[in-house]
Amino acid sequence: MSLVPEEIEQLIEELTLEEKIQLVHGEADPEGLATGYLSGVERLGIPELRLADGPLGVRARGHPATLFPASIALAATFDPNLGRKQGVAMGREAKARKQDALLGPGVNLIRVPHCGRNFEYYSEDPVLTAAFAHSMVTGIQSEDVIATPKHYVANNQETNRASVDVDVSERALRECYLPGFKAAVDAGAGSVMTAYNSVNGSFMSENRSLVTDVLKSEWGFDGYVVSDWFGTVSTVGSANGGLDLEMPGITREEMWEVFGLELDVDEEGTVFDETEDMSAGMPDMSNTKWFAEPLAEAVRTGEVPEERVDDMVTRILRQMDRIGLFEGDRGEGNSTENDHRSVSESIAARGTVLLENDGVLPLADGVDIAVVGPGVREITTGGGSSEMDALYEVSTAEGIEDRANGDVLVERGLPKVEQVSFFGRDEDDTDQRPDPRLEDAVEAAATAEVAVVVVQDAATEARDRENLRLPGRQDQLVEEVAAVNENTVVVVQSSGPVELPWRSEVAAVLESWYPGQSDGDALAAVLFGDVDASGRLPVTFANERDYPTSTEETFPGAGGEVHYTEDLFVGYKHFDVSDVEPTYPFGHGLSYAEFSYHSVEAVDERQVRVTIENTADREGREVVQAYVSSESVGEDRPVRELAGFVPVDVQAGEIVTVDIDLEDLAFAQYDDSEGWTDLEGPFTVEIARSAGDTRLEVTL
């Protein structure tokens, strides 16, 4: 039975101040599993609370779980239903590992292509981001696990993330950076994690206007606001600003002990000293225990009203109760990994984007293949708190070997790409294999009918990418293979946009992001056409200098400030008003089938009906996109905005009709004086395959 409000009020009455303080800052998990932990108050039957990373699957040391594809790969499916399925799976697996809160999804907008955590986020577009934030949170919470959308808000880079002040307009916050969080709250998220950075002069963990006035008062958020780890910057400012829970609440030494890690500290006490540029992206880990004794003292002196602490505790107890923690031991949930294996694989396959194809794909059965690339014998993931042990791993090469009926030659060609790990994976020097040689890869490619070159970037939390090129000599590997095999297929496994200088010299290009544990199986399914290539770009691909954040003040900032001077013009909204064409537009993705767009009609002012036909001789999945524009907007607004999208499976020769709901966000504008107002019509709705390929139009 769950507690009624009066019972929670009764508990607050009976708790001593010390016990209340114990409930609002973390401790070390005695079982060494949880990333964040509250020991509860046994005297009053208040249970423990365990919080675990992360957006790509549950990290509970010693208890592997399903490693899902990068969040950007999920967004590339343009299918929020897959997001809900992943959320359900992660919720089940969290509960089965006694974790009560999952520290995800990451819902920050992809503002700059270099951001080291783009693989943990969804898109450059707020409507697409909000759709996945909503579906993922719905899935997680449906399993009685607390979802923790993060990092609230405007944590769009890793460089100096714990000190940088983001100078951003209220309009851009409202229309671009907040919608993902609003959707997560509307989906019933029980918690929100504040970002390390400061926004418009106030650190997020003590940012009263965004945490109390917007999140709690305006949106009605009744869960708890938890800081990022070592991201609480004060006692009085944070408590009175609306922060409810300080994590980890322990010292760096205690934290590393929980993770079973040796503390790698140089004389300045900097962790990660072996890669100096990491420390620029790490928080000051001496920054802890603000909500321990100092908070009790602040209550005693009256600087923090005890009612505020009561509200903090109430918000936490309410979420504990909501997920059934007061109903006694929840026991071991039923995590059926095998189901989740298929969920992870289908997301990876569906999220794979076919950027170029001269007809070499899909591959015929029996074809002889060379698979080359530095990471083909491993799965590809990013570095940082999203790292975890996967229950099951299928390397890129292994998946292709299992699926192919012809000969498969495998050559790495280059040394492994340097990858940062927070958990010591990068110190794994057990690799006894002979050094790979580029010429071996080229020779293997020359003898095969098809050469599949798998290349990757190396993104991590706490550090942004220095540029958008592939690390090391991977471009050279592609060029040398393409020179000896006209059927060269390049598979890019990256965290976000990368520059592809050789794209016109090869037969096909696939973007598969970080595909998660089923890496090779998902890729093989797409290469052989077992599933249609149905991914679409959730971010624009362009040359580094052509993005609107290519000056130092816009990224990574200078003098402790970063200026979002592009305002609303993020991603395709910038390229729509730029005289530079992107390499591949937002929403781009080829299919193995062929779609013709027959008609569109307006059902009402928030829905259009589109009829398309699959004119090919094989099934395909199309993602029908709807962009809205209005003649009445000024130059300070984008010329059009994504309003809706629908993925639809269409059999060969079939004609289907789909209804696309158009999101209010695409018809609204925010400004400081008026708040939210509707844009003036009439509106044109473009029905498109991508931001660069409009097929039909209708006026609303």
Q: Which is nearer to ligand GLC, 53 or 464 (CB)?
A: 53
- Please report how close the Cβ of residue 384 comes to ligand GLC at its closest, in angstroms: 7
Length of the chain: 700
- Residue 690 has phi, psi (to 5 degrees) of -165, 175
Instruction: Supply the minimum distance, in Å, between the C-beta of residue 228 and ligand GLC.
Output: 5
Nearer residue to ligand GLC within complex by CB, 65 or 296:
65
Report, in Å, the least distance between residue 120 CB and ligand GLC.
8
Residue 660 — φ and ψ, nearest 5°?
A: -110, 120
Phi, psi of 444 (to 5 degrees): -60, -40
Q: Cα separation of 697 and 700, whole Å? A: 10
What residue type is assigned to position 289 of the chain? K
Q: Are 531 and 348 in contact (CB under 8 A)?
A: no
Nearer to ligand GLC, 282 or 508 (CB): 282
> For 598, what's the count of Cα atoms within 13 Å in the CB-facing half-sphere?
12
Residue 228 annotated to the active site: yes
Residue 608: CB atoms within 10 Å? 25
Residue 661 forms beta bridges with which residues?
607
- Which C-beta is closer to ligand GLC: that of 25 or that of 573? 25
User: Tokens 């609370």 label which residue?
Assistant: 49
What is the phi/psi pair of residue 228, to 5°? Answer: -70, 165
Nearest distance from C-beta of residue 408 to ligand GLC, angstroms: 38
- Minimum Å gap between C-beta 383 and ligand GLC is 12
480 vs 361, 372, 375, 409, 432, CA distance in Å? 21, 12, 18, 17, 26
Task: Compute how many other C-beta atoms are within 10 angstroms of the C-beta atom of residue 585.
Answer: 22
Cβ closer to ligand GLC: 53 or 411?
53
SS3 of 347-384: the string is HHHHCCEEEEECCCCCCCCCCCEEEECCCCCCCCCCEC
CB 660 → ligand GLC: shortest distance, Å?
Answer: 33
**Among candidates 249, 175, 247, 217, which has minimal Cα distance to 573?**
175
Residue 196 or 221 having the CB closest to ligand GLC: 196
Output the smallest distance, CB 391 to ligand GLC, in A: 20
CB of 593 to ligand GLC, least distance (A): 39
H helical segments located in 198-283: 208, 236-241, 252-258, 276-279
Can you read off the two tokens belonging to residue 137?
A: 């949170």
Q: Which is nearer to ligand GLC, 278 or 526 (CB)?
A: 278
Task: Tell me whether residue 150 or residue 640 sits nearer to ligand GLC (CB atom).
Answer: 150
Token output for 684: 């044109």
Q: Work out how close the CB of 35 gets to ligand GLC at its nearest, in angstroms, rounded to a whole number.
A: 5
Q: Kindly report the number of other CB atoms within 10 A of residue 697's CB atom.
A: 13
630/639 Cα distance (integer angstroms): 7
Residue 102: which H helix or E strand, with range? strand 101-102
Q: Which residues contact 170 (CB under 8 A, 6 or more apart)?
A: 670, 671, 672
> How far apart are CB 220 and ligand GLC at their closest, in Å?
25
**Angle CA 546–552–553, to nearest 5:** 110
Expressed in angstroms, the distance from the first to the final Cα of the chain is: 50
Q: CA–CA separation, 697 vs 355, rounded Å?
A: 25
Helix (H, G, I), strand (E, B) or coil at 388: coil
Q: Please, which residue, 185 or 226, has the CB nearer to ligand GLC?
A: 226
Residues found near ligand GLC in the complex (CB under 6 A) = 35, 53-54, 103, 150, 228-229, 385
Comparing CA positions, the residue from 697, 118, 660, 574 lying closest to residue 386 is 118
Q: Which helix or strand (DSSP H or E) is residue 337 part of?
A: helix 337-350
Question: Nearest approach, Cβ of 230 to ligand GLC (angstroms)?
Answer: 7
Q: Which is nearer to ligand GLC, 229 or 670 (CB)?
A: 229
Contact 482, 502 (CB under 8 A): yes
- What secondary structure letter does DSSP report for 214? I
Cβ proximity to ligand GLC: between 385 and 540 the closer is 385
The residue assigned the tokens 């010292």 is 251
Backbone angles phi, psi at 89, to 5 degrees: -60, -45
User: Catalytic one among 79, 228, 457, 567?
Assistant: 228
Residues noted as catalytic = 228
